[in-house]
Structure 1
């Protein structure tokens, strides 16, 4: 694959302060080594100083607190926010300190059990466990690792299993056939050209929607026959010492209607005069042509899937990742090439969550594009 390799009442403001705002003057009640008294219900619900304030209460400087808080990615913050809001309310009603969950094992177990009775499943409750553990910044043994908490989580899975969302995937050939009909590109509307590019990139790179969202025009290089995509943004798979490698996509001479290289050039040419102070690749298709959010890109991809006859009530935009990588694997693309393009360090994630059976592929275009580099 590319080198391509694929066709390749806590108030909301109170919750945001957990990661984004500067806390008020830290409470000095812990400086003498004594446990801080539990916050009142109203204070816990209205003003949660969060990670930064918790660290400062243990004597760390604001700079240290800011760097530690920055270790949580935006996506993680969004995942945790809802559960931390509920945890704060839970603690406020019982007048216990939400910052020391390891001292309140029974309360943590009751909270997670309450979420279960509200209808939440294994994945959501496990996220809640991680969110609560993130508050335990002063302990070497986060509450989430307590044997009883881990046993409860296993019980949730046993009684309400969390199975992979997709047991199968869709036929990439159907989408490729539809994309071929969107040709020549200079005759397409801006909307159709945008949809075609978004889908081709999703299939070629095998990446998440976030990758397409943060892709910038300054991170696209063209040589005579190869387009190279770079990103300097932190992705879900980014970690110290490891980042998404550049993705190289060759011209596809055999089927120019499916050539990502020429489609990208056409899109950049069409949008050059429409861009205003943005390097992000994808912009709105109607004035004022501002940078779009990730959900807009997902809607474009789902629109193409729907036009190609894919059941979008069953498959979402993220399913392109499974469809593309699974199809590439079936076409005997080397596994390491698939992992490299998709940003996986090993095959565990691919085999467990993405490698799925699909209807019989009838079009060899995927294989040809994948091996065109």
Structure 2
């Protein structure tokens, strides 16, 4: 027989060692079983002569193999020499060993374990589960085992997400209830038979645990539903006990009672007196966060004045007719109002100035309707106003409505002096010329040509001289700082969606000099990619859109000098990386990088741009996301680009002076100038 090579010897010894280890593990298992004492003795005879069993037919033993031919993980010393026992004192000094393994109880019957383990791994099949749930019903004398249904009033107030989550919890709770019912059915059978005290106790303990879990699930459902409710409503359901519904069947009655109490606390009934109608009662009541002065000036006709205090009581001052008196004021409650003022009549003006502010759109509709606009044409008139314009005018109309209530004016019919008084009050409160001009523009939509009066123009001119409007930026930042930073984000297709989204928006903002509103309006079907670059047409209306004016077209050629900041390449890579996560039936280019993926709004894009500016070292406490428009156009002008090209690229008209007045700014002066002055001449 030829002599083995070194590798064959190593394989042979490894095979022998594995066989010995398997025999040793088998012996350990055999010793732990009470039914295999004889087998353990036989195996001990096989395993004990460990050194001698590794001898081969050729006469080579394990001890004779050179140590360099043995595998690294096995050594002769480990196999041959037993581990010595430590001294008991040393073991005591080391402390008790820590066992992280879980502690299990005695084994259950093998037949039971064979049925539960597959269910614990894969669950019950749908058909078998449905059949099992139909086999048991909730006992008639323990109806609360059935999961309570969500109240219809609460279901209408919460979102679909909360309702769907509650349905899942309700199904789980119903299953627990049926499980408890099945155990109780077994207990009922045991109670009618012979004495089975121990079995009854075990079943009873199981029912207790399941019932407690049932209660906990009810508490969890309550905590998941209540965050979507009004805080003022939580006091009604805070300590309510459940029945068939989650918050009790008496919830509708409590809601109605609460609203009735609230209504009674905010209103005071009219009191009429047929004997006397000359005197009136002027009533003030501050509701919510209302902090403006009273709507009506105090009466000088001798009528009593009743003041509603914060605690709900009413103050009735002494009569002021005739000579002055030092009599104290009388405090009366709401229920005592009619008895305390039997001779006073409460009057209420129903004119437009005394109504609650109806909202921006309603105010504008009412104004056009009062000027003779047909009702059928109001929708077309309102369509001429953009959403942002309505949001901006809404603040003016709120202030104008409060001003009209204080001075008892009709907000739809006012004189020039009324408008001048309103603008003067706003100026005294700190409003600048730009804010006053915005107020004038909003009121012109409401009042017509009144705001175009020469006196109002003179007032605005005076406000400009006393509080001139300064440009937002006296200088701008260098776009190269940001471009050098995002050039490090390569390659594009290996970036995260978040990083790639922020890179594309900052490049689009700088290379097009357009507003974020324009970037948010880019559609995939409007993007044309060819060999020279990318052309993007803007089909949606934007701020500069008007009748007879062309929509902007964004032209982005391939920038071969530095492909890391090439906007055309980034657009191609962005479309490729986001093709699998785009929302259905949404064609916007820019989408959010967090689930659920939606179309990115102008506010989201602004936040992304500002985050990139901050990472690039730009002072975001001074510069906003819109400053990219200043930086891009100023850098283009500094490089020698003509004004006509800048106006056309940024969306300004040929005669527009916007760039020269507001956007053309010098770059931020660095410390290079001071250093050159301080540098000694060589």
- Please report the TM-score for the alignment, with normalisation by the length of structure 1: 0.81
Q: Does residue 310 of structure 1 match 2:618? A: yes
Is the 2:509–2:629 contact (alpha carbons within 8 Å) kept by the matching residues of 1?
Answer: yes
1:74 aligns with 2:381: no
Which position in structure 2 is the counterpart of 1:30? none
* Aligned mates of 1:52, 1:96 — CA distance in 2: 19
Q: Which has the higher contact order (CA 8 A, sep 6+)?
A: 1
Partner Cα separation in structure 2 for residue 108 and residue 56 of structure 1 = 21
Give how far 1:47 is off: 6.6
Q: Is the 8 A contact 1:39 1:95 kept in 2?
A: no
SS at match of 2:446: coil
Deviations 1:34-73 (A, max 9, x none): xxx9934432534773222333334432332222222222
Cα-to-partner distance string for 1:153-203 (whole Å, 9 max, x where unaligned): 111111111111011100111011011111111121111100010000001
Match of 2:660 among 331, 351, 360: 351
Partner residue, 1:156? 463
Cross-structure match for 2:108? none
Runs of 4+ in structure 1 off by over 6 angstroms are none
Q: Which residue of 2 aligns with 1:54?
A: 367
1:117 corresponds, among 425, 428, 433, to: 428
Q: How does 1:19-34 map to 2 (within 5 A)?
A: none
Cα 1:235/1:266, change in 2 over 3 Å? same
Deviations 1:207-248 (A, max 9, x none): 011111111122211112220111111111111111333121
Aligned 8 A contact 1:214 1:280 in 2: yes
**Structure-2 separation of matches of 1:131 and 1:356:** 31
Offset of residue 97 of structure 1: 1.6
C-alpha spacing 1:46/1:254, structure 2 compared with 1 (3 Å)? closer
For residue 227 of structure 1, give the secondary structure of its aligned residue in structure 2: strand
CA shift, 1:281, in A, is: 1.7
Q: Which has the larger radius of gyration?
A: 2
Q: State the shift of 1:88 in Å.
A: 1.2
**Alpha-carbon deviation of 1:356?**
0.6
Equivalent residue for 1:340? 648
| Mean CA deviation greater in 202-211 or 236-245 | 236-245
Match of 1:295 among 603, 610, 618: 603
CA–CA distance in structure 1, aligned partners of residues 383 and 477 of structure 2: 38
Cα distance change of structure 1 residues 38 and 332 upon mapping to structure 2, 3 Å threshold? farther
Question: Following the alignment from structure 1 to structure 2, what is the Cα–Cα distance between the partners of residues 235 and 160?
Answer: 32
List runs of 5+ in structure 2 lacking aligned partners: 1-285, 289-348, 671-682
The answer to whether the 8 A contact 1:38-1:97 is kept is no
- The more displaced of 235-244 and 302-311 is 235-244
Q: Are 1:280 and 2:588 matched, yes or no?
A: yes
Q: Do residues 329 (structure 1) and 642 (structure 2) align? A: no
Aligned equivalent of 1:39: 351
Correspondent of 2:477 among 170, 183, 194: 170
Q: How does 1:203-214 map to 2 (within 5 A)?
A: 203-214=510-521
1:360, CA displacement in angstroms? 7.2
Q: How many angstroms apart in 2 are the aligned matches of 1:357 and 1:135?
A: 41
Q: Distance in 2 between matches of 1:59 and 1:322?
A: 44
- Structure-to-structure mapping, 1:205-284, within 5 angstroms: 205-276=512-583, 277-284=585-592
- CA change 1:100–1:42 in 2 (3 A) is closer
Distance 1:253 1:83, change over 3 A: same
* 3-state SS of paired residue (2:357): helix
Aligned Cα root-mean-square deviation (Å): 2.2
Q: Which deviates more, 259-268 or 274-283?
A: 274-283
Give distance in 1, aligned partners of 2:669 and 2:402: 52
3-state DSSP class of the match of 1:66? Answer: helix
Q: Which of 128, 143, 154 is the aligned partner of 2:450? A: 143
Q: Which residue of 2 aligns with 1:25?
A: none
SS at match of 2:465: helix
Unaligned runs of 5+ in 1: 1-8, 12-36, 362-373
Q: TM-score, normalised by structure 2?
A: 0.45
Q: What residue in structure 2 maps to residue 99 of structure 1?
A: 412
Q: Is the 8 A contact 2:352 2:411 kept in 1?
A: no
Counterpart contact for 1:228–1:248, Cα < 8 Å? yes
> 1:371 maps to what in 2?
none
Distance in 1, matches of 2:523 and 2:530, equals 17
In 2, Cα distance between equivalents of 1:338 and 1:46? 44
Distance in 2 (alpha carbons) for counterparts of 1:265 and 1:212: 16
